[in-house]
């Protein structure tokens, strides 16, 4: 028995690095097959099947999903794409510092780390963004020009998923070998970042068929209402003046809502449902009216705006509002039935769910832990890659504190990923450094 165990261990130890990557990928996929779906994910699948691109979802993600569905229907191809980019991109980054075997094992461990796993297992823009950023980082570190082109394409995809991803991408661009130094290098990185963000915006403009203006409402409507509440703007005349051009459903209910003294929990209930206070924006003029109201509220009352954003930031970091909720759902049967997609959890997935919930009970899903870790690694990290990932995660989190529509855990996912990678790199680089 002992001899068999030793033989098995010897056999595992002699497997090539790619075998460790494939094994880690298989364990990940078995834990979430065919991919977790929120209501937002299911509606995105409707859009993919209809072929009508809206501004609600990232258009390049919709295009990628629609293309993948030519070979296999459902969420599984997207799960393969985002997790594959994440795993193999991270392994490519780590191989620049440590042995190939150590890089493969470390990359698999990061992907399977529950606070990372639970978002990567869901079909969301945030998951694809993390995969695209790591895939881009791995590609940009390769010497061949074709890999650098692929890295640029992946950065555009990441910025299309979340425009705030440019804050995470700038530190990553600092890893790219350049002959320029000093201010010239900084100017080059800034110009590349602006070009990438511009390309993502252009792709959206070109591909969008149906303008819903939901992204504008998601951020600006709660911000504006919260500023009005904090400044006690409750008279009908003052509300009409502050929200001129924004379609209000019922002035009396809006005044009562603002008088209650609570920030809106999110934007959806403000403009959807039977108790909505506003009609959904339907025209460019209404969208500009909301932008004008938001700009006026922010510029005239910056203190109230910052207090509102502080409240969101505290919930985003897990410092208020309880332990963050996580999604581990294969999708609503009634919603997905018309698309012929129904999935039930396997025994493996139930075990995975138990592991995730146990980890969550240990408070490891509170994002402030990873922000503190990132800031610490910026200060003490000696390796450039450690500092780059720590800065990338912290910069993205700061951007989301300003622009996140609510405090869902997935909006802090890149911070968790980047801080975890920085910590892992600092640990393995000393022990398994590649011979040069």
Distances (CA, A) of 30 to 17, 96, 128, 184: 20, 29, 19, 47
Q: What is the mean pLDDT of residues 135-139?
A: 96
Distance of alpha carbon 340 from alpha carbon 331, whole angstroms = 12
The model's pLDDT over 21-56, given as tens digits with 9 standing for 90+, comes to 999 999 999 999 999 999 999 999 999 999 899 999
In the structure, what pLDDT confidence band is assigned to residue 1 with cuts at 50, 70 and 90?
low
Neighbours of 232 (CB within 10 A): 11
3-class DSSP assignment, residue 122? strand
Q: Where is pLDDT greater, at 13 or 408? A: 408
pLDDT band (50, 70, 90) for residue 237: confident
Give pLDDT tens digits for 278-299. Answer: 888 889 999 999 999 999 989 9
pLDDT of 7 above 80: no
Rounded Cα gap, residues 115 and 119, in angstroms: 7
Global pTM? Answer: 0.93
How does the average pLDDT of the chain come out, rounded? 90
Contact 292/221 with Cβ under 8 angstroms? no
Structure tokens at 407: 């405090």
SS3 call for 54: strand
DSSP state of 277: S
Rounded Cα distance between 174 and 167, Å, is 12
Cross-strand partners of 248: 278
Which is higher by pLDDT, 231 or 123? 123
> Cβ atoms within 10 A of the Cβ of 350, count?
11
CA 82, 390, 195, 58 torsion-angle sign: positive
């Amino acid at each position: 028995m002992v001899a068999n165990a030793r033989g098995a261990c010897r056999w595992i130890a002699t497997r090539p690095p790619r075998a460790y990557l494939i094994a880690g990928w298989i364990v990940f996929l078995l834990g979430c097959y065919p991919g977790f779906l929120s209501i937002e994910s299911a509606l995105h699948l409707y859009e993919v099947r209809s072929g009508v691109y809206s501004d609600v979802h990232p258009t390049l993600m919709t295009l990628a999903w629609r293309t993948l569905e030519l070979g296999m229907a459902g969420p599984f191809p997207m799960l393969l794409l985002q997790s594959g980019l994440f795993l193999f991109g991270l392994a490519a980054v780590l191989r620049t510092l440590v042995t190939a075997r150590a890089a493969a094992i470390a990359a698999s461990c990061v992907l399977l780390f529950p606070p990372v796993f639970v978002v990567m297992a869901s079909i969301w823009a945030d998951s694809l963004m993390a995969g695209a950023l790591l895939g881009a980082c791995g590609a940009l570190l390769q010497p061949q020009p074709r890999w650098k082109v692929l890295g640029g394409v992946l950065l555009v995809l990441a910025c299309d998923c979340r425009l705030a991803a440019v804050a995470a991408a700038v530190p990553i661009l600092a890893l790219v070998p350049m002959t320029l130094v000093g201010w010239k290098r900084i100017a080059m990185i800034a110009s590349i970042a602006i070009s990438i963000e511009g390309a993502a915006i252009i792709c959206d403009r070109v591909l969008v068929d149906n303008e819903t203006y939901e992204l504008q409402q998601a951020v600006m409507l709660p911000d504006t209402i919260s500023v009005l509440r904090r400044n006690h703007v409750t008279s009908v005349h003052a509300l009409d003046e502050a929200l001129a051009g924004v379609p209000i459903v019922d002035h009396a209910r809006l005044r009562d809502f603002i008088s209650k003294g609570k920030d809106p929990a999110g934007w959806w209930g403000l403009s959807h449902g039977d108790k909505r206070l506003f009609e959904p924006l339907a025209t460019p003029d209404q969208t500009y009216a909301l932008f004008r109201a938001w700009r006026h509220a922010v510029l005239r009352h910056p203190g109230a705006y910052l207090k509102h954003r502080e409240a969101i930031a505290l919930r985003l970091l897990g410092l208020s509002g309880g332990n963050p909720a996580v999604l581990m759902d294969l999708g609503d049967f009634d919603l997905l039935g018309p698309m012929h997609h129904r999935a039930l959890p396997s025994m493996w997935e139930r075990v995975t769910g138990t592991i995730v919930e146990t980890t969550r009970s240990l408070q490891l899903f509170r994002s402030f832990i990873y922000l503190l870790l990132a800031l610490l690694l910026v200060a003490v990290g000696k390796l450039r890659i450690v500092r780059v990932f720590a800065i990338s995660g912290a910069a993205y989190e700061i951007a989301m504190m300003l622009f996140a529509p609510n405090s869902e855990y997935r909006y802090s996912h890149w911070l968790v990923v980047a801080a975890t990678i920085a910590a892992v790199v600092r640990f393995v680089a000393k022990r398994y450094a590649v011979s040069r």
